[in-house]
């Protein structure tokens, strides 16, 4: 798969005509994708491709995401790219990336995702473990922002290697970066350094699942 810089260069080439062939800067690509310059800079540093925004861009330009990411021709992907899958979406659940959280829900919807995004979530075999919920708050910015829809793999609850998880504590439902300490306790970390790290005993949290991807604000 192409890296972040390679994808950015492809986008610059695609949109060059819209800019009268003038030099295109990273801020132009960020604007086209609908990503803030701060988030864009962070993604560039981490080599983190904004898949949700890239899918929207490719759909707008009628470009195959597989061509964008892998250089595969659309003709070789007709059967695959016509496939869509459904993922459970708990639209009433908000996992907090900041203050309180709403864990009550009644409405279970489904989100239709294309074949390419299903691959990013681990492939068709993993979809039975995938659920989608909303993000509220700003403590995980720039990684996750308010109104993002995040995809959680409920089969991945092992905290040994750390990562970003949806967890439940007595305070509610949260999306946080979790790291296991040498003493066995857990550091609950916010990516936004305005928020302090919280240390809890493993018995004080329930791990719902690992956050494996995200969409931006979806109407």
Structural domains present in the chain: 4-81 (1.10.260), 84-215 (2.10.109.10)
Contact 15, 32 (CB under 8 A): yes
By C-alpha distance, which of 43, 218, 35 is closest to 132? 218
HSE of 183, CA atoms in CB hemisphere, 13 A? 6
- Per-residue pLDDT, 117: 78
Is it the case that residue 137 has pLDDT exceeding 60?
yes
Q: What's the pLDDT band for 19 if we cut at 50, 70, 90?
A: confident
The mean pLDDT of the chain is 79
CB-count exposure of residue 178 (10 Å: 0-12, 13-18, 19+): buried
- Per-residue pLDDT, 100: 37
> Torsions phi, psi of 149, nearest 5?
-105, 120
How far is residue 47 from each of residues 73, 85, 95, 200, measured CA to CA in Å? 24, 27, 26, 31
Q: What's the pLDDT band for 77 if we cut at 50, 70, 90?
A: very low
Average pLDDT value for residue range 91-109? 52
Q: Name the helix (H) or strand (E) containing 132.
A: strand 130-136
């Amino acid at each position: 798969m192409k890296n972040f810089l390679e994808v950015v260069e492809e986008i610059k080439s695609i949109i060059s005509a819209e800019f009268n062939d003038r030099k295109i800067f990273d801020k132009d690509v960020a604007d086209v994708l609908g990503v803030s310059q701060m988030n864009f800079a962070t993604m560039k540093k981490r080599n983190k491709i904004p898949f949700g925004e890239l899918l929207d861009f490719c759909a707008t330009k009628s470009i195959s995401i597989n061509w964008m990411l892998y250089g595969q021709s659309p003709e070789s992907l007709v059967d695959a790219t016509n496939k869509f899958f459904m993922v459970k979406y708990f639209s009433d659940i908000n996992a907090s990336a900041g203050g309180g959280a709403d864990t009550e829900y009644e409405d279970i919807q489904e989100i239709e995702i294309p074949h390419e995004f299903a691959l990013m979530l681990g492939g068709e075999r993993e979809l039975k473990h995938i659920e989608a919920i909303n993000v509220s708050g700003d403590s995980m910015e720039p990684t996750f922002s308010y109104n993002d829809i995040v995809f959680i793999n409920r089969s991945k609850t092992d905290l040994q290697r750390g990562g970003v998880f949806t967890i439940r504590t007595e305070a509610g439902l949260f999306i946080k970066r979790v790291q296991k300490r040498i003493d066995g306790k857990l550091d609950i970390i916010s990516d936004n350094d305005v928020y302090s790290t919280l240390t809890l005993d493993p018995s004080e949290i329930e791990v719902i699942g690992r956050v494996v991807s995200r969409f931006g604000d979806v109407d």
